[in-house]
A and B are shown apart, each in its own frame.
Chain A
């Protein structure tokens, strides 16, 4: 059971570079999320999606972009990386139903911007 798969697990970027964090889930979940976790802090929502073709901003969207062309994939794009984007990024998914379901998380992607 793969669940939520994130790649890469680790990456070092130089200031101004761009990259894409990949996220894929095989549970047919309609909801997907990107969070960042800074040291000693809780998770902050960057972007989320309620289904293919639909995305919306979370609490901290600046400097990021997302797309959702399929149910399975939800990549996060960082344009013009800045040191403030050094963080651990988590992708998560969940399903709709009769009520809020649990979130299923990937293992995280640790990004350092130097």
Chain B
């Protein structure tokens, strides 16, 4: 079945540091890939997405590129802020199987001033 693997957390960085959160996936068909973010006490919200190979999703300074050859969708940001502290979830949706999303376990990021 489909699955998503993320790097273990928690990740602690100083403000303005470079961020990478690794995500790899296993899927049949041609999935769309997503990064969701969950701020403390809130529900998940979409951060960015990519629907086909080599697409780059970007939002709020975050970027991720859909790499089919390595089945990866790593999240990056050049300079993190304290307000980026949250849990980040990688996810996929395989259109061949409808709208069923598969989420990774989440990576908690803490950014220190």
Which A residues lie at the B interface, using CB under 8 A?
4, 31, 33, 35, 40-43, 45, 48, 50, 58, 90, 92, 94, 96, 99-103, 105-108
A33 to B89 CA separation, bound complex (whole angstroms): 17
Cβ-neighbour of B34 out of A58, A102, A108 (below 8 A): A102
Contact between A40 and B105, CB atoms less than 8 A apart: yes
Q: Which residues of A contact B100 (CB under 8 A)?
A: 45, 48, 58
A62 to B42 CA separation, bound complex (whole angstroms): 26
Q: Which residues of A contact B104 (CB under 8 A)?
A: 42
Contact between A106 and B89, CB atoms less than 8 A apart: no
Distance in Å from the Cβ of B60 to the closest Cβ of chain A? 15
Q: How many residues of B contact A (CB 8 A)?
A: 24
Q: Which residues of B contact A50 (CB under 8 A)?
A: 98-99
Contact between A103 and B101, CB atoms less than 8 A apart: yes
Q: Which residues of B contact A96 (CB under 8 A)?
A: 99
Beyond known contacts A42-B106, A96-B99, A103-B46: 8 more, CB 8 A cutoff: A33-B101, A41-B105, A42-B103, A42-B104, A99-B95, A100-B94, A103-B101, A105-B44
Most buried by A among B89, B94, B103: B103
- CB within 8 Å: A-B pair count: 56
Contact between B99 and A31, CB atoms less than 8 A apart: yes
Q: Which residues of B contact A107 (CB under 8 A)?
A: 42-43
Distance in Å from the Cβ of B79 to the closest Cβ of chain A? 26
Cβ-neighbour of B45 out of A40, A45, A105 (below 8 A): A105
Contact between A103 and B95, CB atoms less than 8 A apart: no
* Interface residues in B62-95 (C-beta closer than 8 Å to A): 89, 93-95
B51: interface (CB < 8 Å): yes
Contact between A100 and B44, CB atoms less than 8 A apart: no
Contact between A90 and B95, CB atoms less than 8 A apart: no
A92 to B45 CA separation, bound complex (whole angstroms): 10
Contact between B32 and A99, CB atoms less than 8 A apart: yes
Cβ-neighbour of A43 out of B45, B93, B103 (below 8 A): B103
